[in-house]
Amino acid sequence: MKGFPTHATVSRTISSPVGNLILLASAEGLAGLFFGHRIERDSLPSEDAGNGHLAAAEKQLREYFAGKRTRFDLPFDVAGTDFQKRVWAELSRIPFGVTRSYGEIAARIGNPKSVRAVGLANGANPLSVIVPCHRVIGANGSLTGFGGGLELKRRLLVLEGALLDVA
């Protein structure tokens, strides 16, 4: 799978209201969160029921889906370019229930002409939901590009109150 964090040493699969989530971690922190339908099971590192990073991520995700958490507080161990990491840091600053356009993200990182590069970095985000790439929408307010699919993006935005449930 493209973007799979090869430095992750352990994994955990959890169920959620949006389907199975695959959590990946290293000794340093959370290395990935992927939607279960996007990952090949035989490519995963071994399951580890005792890993503290995986346990903390699972707890915080359960709180998020129960409407009791609006921010995540977890150590990360993600691989990416400096540009990607700047974009991901800016995504993490988007408040719960708020959306931003790709252009707004580009402007906020000081590079307003990098809209397409922001889109690519957004798509390469290894920590879906936790680093909220689902909160990034088109300039015209449309739901665009999301690794889990647009229906999943819509469901996450409805959960957060950023979008009315009209489907």
The per-residue DSSP string of 23-49 comes to EEE-SSSEEEEEEGGGS-GGGSPPB-T
- Whether residue 103 contacts residue 115, with contact meaning beta carbons closer than 8 Å, is answered with yes
Give the β-pairing of 136-137 and 30-35: unpaired
CA separation for the pair 16, 57 (Å, rounded): 13
45 is catalytic: no
Task: Identify the active-site residue in 8, 133, 162, 163.
Answer: 133
The residues annotated with a catalytic role in the active site are 133
